[in-house]
Amino acid sequence: MQRRPLLQTVAALALAAAAPAVPAQDAWPSKPIRIVVPFAAGGTSDILARTIGEKLQAELKQTVIVENKAGAGGVIGADFVAKAAPDGYTLLLGTIASHAINPALNPKMPYDAVKDFAPIDLLGSIANVLIVGAAQPYKNVQELVVAVKAKPGLPFASPGQGSSQHMSGEAFELQAGIDLTHVPYKGSGPAVQDVIAGQIPMSFETATVALPHIQAGKLRALAVTPARRSKVLPEVPTMQEAGIAGFDVASWQALYAPAGTPPAIVNRLNAEVEKILALPEVKAKLEGLGLEHTPNTPAQFAAFGQAELAKWAKIVKDGNIKLN
């Protein structure tokens, strides 16, 4: 009398054993995470990525690899991440160049700076500084403006076309109603050296690069470009304070994932990165780089990114700035 139920049970177990297993969803992260830096090793972006990567590796108990994919003002590395799988294992250390200036300048970008990325965290901003050589006669911004209006075409150096330093000069020209001549260099080093030597009278440069030369008396800082004063140059006025109304430019660094990355992963990364940036030793390192961080959420960062893109698109259009 018990054989039929027993046989049915055995048959059911056999069928269950023969059925294909449904794999369990792997908990993230279950393999190494890669942070792509779209610039060469040794720069601010690279140092920041490696600092965060080291701490993130300890927090997530998973290997974090920093990979440099330099070229085209950050475009090559950013495009690589835009086309990566949206699984939380490939991230980008993006910047104002890759996500605001180049998209505004170049109508043939290989990616959409908004649609192709999931913003994670705005890591920090760096003030640019309007600098002149110590031997130059200009003691403040207004003296410089008066001189350029009297003799248009004053040259200014930058570390390259499309850099935040270059675009700071373009914004100055537009908002002060003056005529400058851009002289692009292949990096900050040679540009700054020519300003120190008097070959070029002025430049915009990051506080990170300019500060040692300002402290040594080789350069004079006339103003910083953000809307508020820099913590590393607190005695230097802002461009707005110096009479250039509405001027607000800062170079910034940020963390992105490819669009479509699950919100749970994006939010987890934001929370972990915010904890890392609050660590005393990390804060000290950022301050040494001239970076200033304000805690933010992915949504807040997304809004910031869209505003930056719109701002630079307007500057490019109003100034009729073209790629050479």
pLDDT digits 0-9 by tens, 201-219: 999 999 988 999 999 999 9
In this structure, the answer to whether residues 95 and 171 fall within a common structural domain is: no
pLDDT over 70 at 6, yes or no: no
Residue 297's domain is classified under what CATH number? 3.40.190.150
Cα–Cα distance measured from residue 136 to residue 126, given in angstroms and rounded to the nearest whole number: 25
The rounded distance, in Å, linking the Cα atoms of 192 and 132 is 9
Q: How confident is the model at residue 26 (pLDDT cuts 50, 70, 90)?
A: low
Residue 7 has pLDDT above 70, yes or no: no
Question: 121 near 254, Cβ under 8 Å?
Answer: yes
The answer as to whether 25 is a domain residue is: no
Instruction: Note whether 132 and 209 are same-domain residues.
Output: yes
Q: How many domains does the chain have?
A: 2
Note the pLDDT of residue 20.
Answer: 44
* Integer Cα distance of 315 and 320 in angstroms: 8
CB 33 within 8 A of CB 60: yes
Q: Is the pLDDT of residue 167 over 80?
A: yes
pLDDT at res. 59: 95
Among the candidates 176, 205, 224, a domain finishes at 224
Is residue 242 in some structural domain?
A: no
pLDDT confidence of residue 162: 83
Q: What is the pLDDT of residue 24?
A: 40
* Chain mean pLDDT for the chain: 90
Q: Which residue has the higher pLDDT, 107 or 156?
A: 156
- What is the pLDDT averaged over residues 130-150? 97
Asked whether residue 183 is assigned to any structural domain, the reply reads yes
State the pLDDT at residue 21.
Answer: 41
b/e burial code for range 93-109 (CB count within 10 A of at least 16 → b): bbbbbbbbbbbbbeeeb
- SS3 state at 188: helix
| Residue ending a domain, choose from 224, 244, 265 | 224
Give the number of other CB atoms < 10 A from CB of residue 71: 13
Domain shared by 271 and 217, yes or no: no
Domain final residue pick, 224, 240, 264: 224
The stretches of 221-323 forming alpha helices (DSSP H) are 263-277, 280-288, 298-318
Say yes or no: 53 and 202 in one domain.
no
**Whether 214 contacts 134, CB under 8 Å:** no
The two beta strands, 219-224 and 117-133, are antiparallel
Residues 141 and 192 in one domain: yes
Reported as half-sphere exposure (CB side, CA atoms, 13 A), residue 116 has a value of: 18
Same domain, 190 and 208: yes
Shared-domain flag, residues 112 and 150? no
- State the SS3 of 15-52: HHHHCCCCCCCCCCCCCCEEEEECCCCCCHHHHHHHHH
Distance CA 165, CA 137 (A): 22
The 10s digit of each residue's pLDDT in 269-312 is 999 999 999 999 999 989 888 899 999 999 999 999 999 999 99
Residues 116 and 131 in one domain: no
The answer to whether residues 111 and 136 belong to one domain is no
Question: Is pLDDT of 19 > 80?
Answer: no
**Is the predicted pLDDT of residue 249 greater than 90, yes or no?**
yes
Q: 45-49, 69-73, 75-79, 253-257: which range is least confident on average?
A: 69-73
pLDDT value, residue 71: 84
**Looking at the domain assignment, is residue 240 inside a domain?**
no
| 107 in the same domain as 160 | no
The band of 163, judged by pLDDT with boundaries at 50, 70 and 90, is confident
Q: Tell me, what's the pLDDT at 324?
A: 65
Q: Give the domain CATH number at 220.
A: 3.40.190.10
Q: Does the residue 87 lie in any domain? A: yes
Higher pLDDT, 297 or 42: 297
Q: Look at residue 165 and tell me whether its pLDDT is greater than 80.
A: yes
Domain-located, residue 239: no
Range of the domain at 188: 127-224
Reply yes or no on whether the pLDDT at 157 is more than 50: yes
Question: Do residues 209 and 280 both lie within one domain?
Answer: no
